[in-house]
Amino acid sequence: MAISTLEAAHRAASDVEQVVWVDRDDRVLGALPRHELRERSLIGRGTFILLFNSAGDLCVHQRTLSKALYPGFWDVAAGGMVGANETYEESAARELAEELGVSGIELTAHERFYFEAPQNHLWCGVFSGVWDGPLQVQPEEVQQALFMPVAEALRLSEQQPFCPDSLDALRRYLAQPSSL
């Protein structure tokens, strides 16, 4: 499947967005273009929003092929990089609205943790919310989205490519005594 012109333009704009640059202790060092953080293996901040429906099913979506990291992978969380002069909470609300068309819901903040993989050095802020309305995906970032039981998402993650950072966020969330 080819990358659309809209996806390519979105990716180019995304690569130059100013995002928060932090140290290993999550202290802000400044802001840099997103692509520079990746290229220099520096640490950024990201948000992961675990979106459930009232039945407890989790929203899982497939990323577009134009994504810089994990193109075409399945993802168990909406989210993205925290922008310059933006808090984790502001980023979570913005990303959820952009990617899935969900806004105006209460987001519960959970833990923050450090994640590291090739080209992905990230302090992660985990949030959860409940939504029973329709999903309106951002076609430049999301190919498709659907709700499924958490156990099914975890089973599929063993058979298909899933984003390792959001899987880590989900597993950590599930390990908390108060989750689900």
Query: Which residues does the annotation place in the binding site?
Result: 95, 99
Residue 90 tokens, joined:
């502001």
Residue 151 tokens, joined:
């156990």
- The binding site for Mg(2+) consists of 95, 99
Q: Which of 92, 126, 114, 109 is nearest to 22 (CA)?
A: 114
Q: CB-hemisphere CA count at 13 Å for 154?
A: 10
